[in-house]
C-alpha cells in the first residue's frame, strides 16, 4: 500500500557528533519515512541539531533507553517502525531491506544482526562485550530452543501489531533483550538480516557500562525467565533443595533403619525443612504456570482484537 506510514525511531543521549549524519542517511535511504528523535536529557546540542535537520524532536525526561522507547511507542502511529541508535554505528543502507521484511509479512520483528559477518567483533574493542553478548544469546536460545544470532542489537524493525502489543518493562538498555524474549515467548515472526557494524567515531563515547549494564541484562533475563517460564524456573530450585534434603536426610534414614533410633536430630530437622521448601517451590511453580498460561490466553485474545481493529483501519 502506498499510504503505509514508516517511522524511524532514534532515541538519543548526547549524540551531537553523529545525529546529523544519522538523520541525513535515513532521509536519503527512506525519503518516505518520518524521522523521530527523542532526546533523553542530553547536555550537548543534540536536540537543536536534530530539529534543524527536519526530524520530529521531543524531549523525554525519564532517563534510560527503555523509558524513551516506551514513550515513542505510546506517541507514534505508523504501520512500520525502524529503531536505530543515534551513534552512527548502524548503516542506513540496510533500512529498505529491514522494512521490506516487514511489508512482505516475513517478520513482525526484524533484527539487524551485527554478529554473523564478524564486523562487530572487528570494530568493537571494549572488554568483555563479546563474552556478554554470547552469554545472553546462548541463555535465551537455550530457554526458547531458538537460534537467534544477535540478541542485543539496537537496529530493529517492527510492524504495528508488535509495537502496540509490546509491554515495555525495562527502563534502560535491557530493552533490547526484552524485545527478543517477548517475540520468542509470544510466537511473533522474526528474522535476522546481517548488517555491517561501525564502531563509534572518534570523540563519541558509549553510554554502556560493561559491568553494571551487563549485570542488569543478566538480571532481566533471570526475571523474565521467572515470569515467562515459572514451572521450569521453580522446578530447578525445587530439585536443588530436594537433592540437598537427600544429602542431609539419607544418613538419618540409614541410622533409623539400622538402629531404630534417630540421634542426628539437627540433620533430621534440616532435611525436613529442605524437603518442605522443595515442595513449596514446586507448588509455587505449578500455580504460577497456570497463571502465566491464562495470561497468555488473554494476551492472544487481545492480540486478535487488535488485529481485527488494525485491518478495519487499513480498509478505510
**What would the pLDDT profile of 18-66 be if each residue is shown by its tens digit?**
999 999 999 999 999 999 999 999 999 999 999 999 999 999 999 999 9
Task: Give the pLDDT confidence of 58-96 residue by residue, as tens digits.
Answer: 999 999 999 999 999 999 999 999 999 999 999 999 999
Give the tens place of pLDDT for each residue, 203-250: 556 656 666 767 777 787 788 789 889 999 999 999 999 999 999 999
Cell numbers for 30 = 527512506
Higher pLDDT, 150 or 221: 150
pLDDT at 57: 97
Tens of pLDDT along 260-307? 888 889 999 999 999 999 999 999 999 999 999 999 999 999 888 888
Query: What confidence score (pLDDT) does residue 1 get?
Result: 45
Q: What is the pLDDT of residue 249?
A: 93
> What pLDDT does residue 170 have?
83
Distances (CA, A) of 285 to 147, 173, 184, 236, 273: 27, 29, 21, 10, 18
Read off the pTM: 0.82
What would the pLDDT profile of 101-143 be if each residue is shown by its tens digit?
999 999 999 999 998 877 666 655 555 566 767 888 888 898 8
C-beta pairs of 23-28 under 8 Å, 24+ apart in sequence:
23/50, 23/53, 23/54, 23/55, 24/53, 25/88, 25/91, 25/92, 26/82, 26/84, 26/92, 26/95, 27/53, 27/54, 28/92
Query: What pLDDT is stored for residue 104 in this prediction?
Result: 94
pLDDT for residue 122 = 61
**How far apart, in whole angstroms, are the C-alpha atoms of residue 271 and residue 266?**
9
Amino acid at each position: 500500500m502506498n499510504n503505509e506510514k514508516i517511522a524511524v525511531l532514534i532515541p538519543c543521549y548526547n549524540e551531537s557528533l553523529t545525529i546529523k549524519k544519522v538523520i541525513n542517511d535515513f532521509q536519503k535511504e527512506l525519503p518516505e519515512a518520518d524521522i523521530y528523535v527523542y532526546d533523553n536529557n542530553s547536555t550537548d546540542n543534540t536536540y537543536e541539531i536534530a530539529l534543524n535537520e527536519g526530524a520530529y524532536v521531543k524531549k523525554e525526561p525519564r532517563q534510560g533507553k527503555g523509558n524513551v522507547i516506551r514513550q515513542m511507542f505510546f506517541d507514534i502511529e505508523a504501520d512500520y517502525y525502524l529503531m536505530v541508535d543515534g551513534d552512527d554505528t548502524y548503516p542506513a543502507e540496510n533500512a529498505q531491506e529491514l522494512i521490506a521484511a516487514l511489508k512482505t509479512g516475513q517478520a513482525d520483528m526484524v533484527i539487524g544482526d551485527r554478529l554473523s559477518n564478524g564486523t562487530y567483533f572487528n570494530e568493537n574493542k571494549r572488554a568483555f562485550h563479546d563474552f556478554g553478548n554470547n552469554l545472553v544469546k546462548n541463555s535465551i536460545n537455550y530457554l526458547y530452543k531458538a537460534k537467534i544470532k544477535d540478541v542485543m542489537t539496537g537496529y530493529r524493525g517492527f510492524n504495528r501489531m508488535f509495537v502496540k502489543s509490546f509491554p515495555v518493562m525495562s527502563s534502560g538498555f535491557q530493552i533490547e533483550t526484552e524485545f527478543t524474549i517477548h517475540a520468542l515467548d509470544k510466537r511473533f515472526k522474526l528474522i535476522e538480516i546481517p548488517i555491517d557494524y561501525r564502531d563509534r567515531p572518534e570523540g563519541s563515547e558509549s553510554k554502556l557500562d560493561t559491568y553494571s549494564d551487563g549485570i542488569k541484562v543478566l538480571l532481566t533475563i533471570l526475571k523474565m525467565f521467572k515470569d515467562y517460564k515459572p514451572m521450569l524456573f521453580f522446578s530447578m530450585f525445587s530439585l536443588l533443595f530436594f537433592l540437598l534434603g537427600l544429602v542431609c536426610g539419607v544418613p538419618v534414614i540409614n541410622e533409623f533403619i539400622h538402629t531404630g533410633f534417630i540421634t542426628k536430630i539437627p540433620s533430621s530437622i534440616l532435611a525436613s525443612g529442605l524437603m518442605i521448601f522443595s515442595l513449596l517451590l514446586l507448588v509455587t511453580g505449578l500455580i504460577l504456570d497456570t497463571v502465566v498460561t491464562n495470561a497468555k490466553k488473554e494476551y492472544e485474545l487481545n492480540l486478535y482484537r487488535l488485529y481485527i481493529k488494525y485491518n478495519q483501519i487499513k480498509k478505510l
